[in-house]
Structures are given as structure tokens and as C-alpha cells.
Amino acid sequence: MSKVTFTKSKENHDESISKHGRSTSSEKGLATFIFSLKNEVGGLIEALKLFQGKQVNLVHIESRKSRRGNSDIEIYVDCDGSHEQLQELTHLLRNHTDITEIILSNISTLPEDDMADELWFPKKISDLDHCSKRVLMELDADHPGYNDDSYHKRRKYFADMALSYKHGDPIPRIDFTEEEVRTWSVVFRELNKLYPSYACKEYLKNLPLLTRYCNYSEDNIPQLEDVSCFLKEQTGFTIRPVAGYLSSRDFLAGLAFRVFHCTQYIRHSSNPLYTPEPDTCHELLGHVPLLAEPSFAQFSQEIGLASLGASDDDIKKLASCYVFTVEFGLCKQEGRLRAYGAGLLSSASELKHALSDKARTFPFDPKVTCNQEFQITTFQEAYFVSESFEEAKTKMREFAKAIRRPFTVHYNPYTQSVEVLKDTSSIGGLVKDTRHELDVVEDALKRLNKHMRI
């Protein structure tokens, strides 16, 4: 999952710099920077720190092949900030990167609620075809596989396959290399030693099912198509292959449709127990077992539904809640702390740390958790504990009610679409459907009572 958020994409402009309207130093504006990185360790991280240092909000980020016809990869960044902030950032970027294009424009003066109403978001599951292509997939210079040409080629193979995928297609089956299987084996073996003592009971219940139905084993990397079919039968979730990091907005939007974006590539073999990014070991061992749990699946979907049409600020808060629950969450079971977060259940070292006396733990409260800073290269500074998935879900529902948008949404599982409820007509249709469901429940209770009298 990405660490940034996305609102609206803008059309490309042919000119190098174009300005629309007038702006003052304090007026907020949108900007697009397109640049290539200098060949140095940590180049992308250092470039993004410039945005953070000037307090410029990252709206969308992706990598793409250079339009200049060479083999370079360009970084495409949408952001917003004051005219003065963007001007200062431009000077800094010129010193640290090779800028190829800058596009500046004024932000709309619409009130926040009106802007939320105009934000595009997927209404049907096939709309995810448009969201899943906006990825960041460039390896940073400090990535373990950065200098490995064969690893770059392998990653390109996975990326091309994911980028060509469309809703309804079967997920291509992968012929994993011996080196990839060996890497998986190390991760699988080390983590399975820890699960009985550290993983939550729901995880331990579902992992044997994945062994039985999806061929999870030390010497076999499961196929995403098999996993997707299994999840669909268990909770209605399906898997969609993705080429790399998605924005928080795009990733959460997938959850609204019970779609989990999943990588297929394997971490570099030089350090099997470390990865600076999600890989299929993280997805299959961390996320999938709990996506097979109905209460957890519902919790994940409700975060996704709350994100549709939300402001950038609310997306950031929802993403933080997601990270500190679905990725790094802890729960209490039988008087002990257990892990249910995928980032913990796929990392032997952080799993042991999070459940040790050294870790700082706090009760899960979305109003607090949403402001917690996420650590990328170190253990988290705080972990949040839920009494149960149901409790976490209840708290997230209350938190979602505070999200500012002039509508709410309802997921229709029959059409796999989202219905926007913002007028009496749309709400009336939902009431009619709900009454029918209640009639079914009432009829079932009557028949049960009649049977029990007999």
C-alpha cells in the first residue's frame, strides 16, 4: 500500500510550464512535477523529503517510462501548497533532480463539501481498471535488488502482466524460479515457527484451510487465482494483481468492492527476511488468512467504503487507521496479546518486537490512531490493541460518520457496485430493499418458533 493520497488526475500539458489565473503567495495551488532521479542511493526518498520539508502535500505519485525516448524512469508527482511553497520547492528540486516538466494551476475555490461531491471515485467494480494502473514501481537505489539486472527484468515481467490485467480476467499463473521458491521457503519456515505463539486465533484457523485448498507449503508459492477463488467462497473478497505501490485513495477504493490489490513478485533473495516494500510473501502470509475471516473482511470493506469521495485529509486519516489495524494491529485473546496485522505476521523480527515488553501499546481509538506517524524503515513507535474485530469495526463506523461528504454510499453485492445515497429517491430504494430483507428475517423467525412448538 502506498504512503500517499490521490484526488483528481489532471490532463497533461504540452508546454513545459503553464500557469492559469493569478495566484498570491498564500493562495493554495496545484502543481505537477515530472522529474528523473540522479543515480544515487536513496534518491527517491531524498526527493520526497523536499516536499515534506516545504510542507507541500503529496496528492499522487507514480513512476513511468520517460517520454524523452531514453531508458530513464520518470517520477510523476501531483501536489498542492501555497504559491510560495511551490516556488521554493521548484528551486530545491532543480538542485537534486532532473526536472523535465512543471505544471502549475490554481485550486478551485469551491467549499470542501462541494469539492467532495465532485471527486471521482469508482462506482462499479470494473472501474478499478482505471485505478490499478497508477502505481509507483521504480526500485530505489538502496533496494536490495537495485544492482541486479536479472531482478529488474523479472520485476518488469510481473509489472507488465499486472498492468495488462482487466476485471474479469483470470489471474495469470506464474512459473516461479527455483531462487524465488527458495526465498519463499525461508520466509514461510521462519514465520510458521512463530505463528502458534503470536498469531490471533482467526489466523490460526484459516491458515490450514489455505494449505488444503490453495497449496500453501514451504516448497510451493501459491497462485493468486487459486487464492482469489478461495477468498470469494469464504468472504466475497477477490484478488487483483498490482504492479507496485498504489496511492492510499486507490488502494482503499479497492477494499470498498472487496477487492484486495496484491503483488506477485518476490523480494530479493539476498535478504529473504527483509523487504522495503510489499511482496507476495507479505500479501499471502500476512493478509490473505484474515481476509478469509468474515468479520475482518467486513472491517476492511468498511474502511474502503468510508474512503470513497473523502477529502485528502480524511483519506490520510483512514489510511493511518488502516495501517495500524490491518497492517500492524494487535488484539486481546484469552488474556494475551496476539497479532492480526499483516505487517507483523509477515515479519519475524517485528512480530516478536510488537509482542515484547519493549513495544508501546495503546487501546485502538480511531481519533488517536489516525494521527499516528507510520515508520517505513524501523519498527513502529506505537501499536494499537482492539478487544475484537467487532469492537474495531464499531469504532470505525462511528469515526466514519465524521467524514465530511454530502452523501453516503451503500455497496450492492449483487451488482458489485456502489450506490451513492444523497437524495430521497436513492435512500427510498435502499429502504425498500432493507424492508424486504427484514421480511425474510421475520419469516425465518416465525418458522423457527413454529418448529420449536412442535
Question: CA-CA-CA-CA torsion for 38, 41, 42, 46, nearest 10 degrees?
Answer: -50
Residue 180 is among the residues annotated as catalytic for this protein: no
Q: What is the DSSP string of 292-343?
A: TSHHHHHHHHHHHHHHTT--HHHHHHHHHHHIIIIIT-EEEETTEEEE--HH
In sequence order, the β-bridge partners of residue 262 are: 241
- Taking alpha carbons only, the member of 136, 128, 26 closest to residue 85 is 26
> Angle at Cα 208 formed by Cα 206 and Cα 213, nearest 5°?
95
Query: Do residues 354 and 378 make contact, with C-beta atoms less than 8 angstroms apart?
Result: no
C-alpha 339/C-alpha 203 separation (Å) is: 9
Cell 515530472 identifies what position? 34
Q: 126 burial class (0-12, 13-18, 19+ CB within 10 angstroms)?
A: middle
Q: What is the DSSP letter of 199?
A: B
Residue 287 is among the residues annotated as catalytic for this protein: yes
Find the catalytic residue in 74, 282, 311, 320.
282
In sequence order, the β-bridge partners of residue 383 are: 361
Beta strands 245-246 and 135-136: pairing type?
A: antiparallel
Find the catalytic residue in 346, 347, 386, 419.
346
Q: Which residues touch 33 (CB under 8 Å, ≥6 apart)?
A: 75, 76, 77, 79, 89, 90, 93, 99, 101, 102
Find the catalytic residue in 327, 350, 386, 419.
327
Residue 91 is among the residues annotated as catalytic for this protein: no
Cell numbers for 3: 504512503
Query: Do residues 374 and 3 make contact, with C-beta atoms less than 8 angstroms apart?
Result: yes
In sequence order, the β-bridge partners of residue 30 are: 80, 105
Residue 451 is among the residues annotated as catalytic for this protein: no
Instruction: State the catalytic residues.
Output: 282, 287, 327, 346
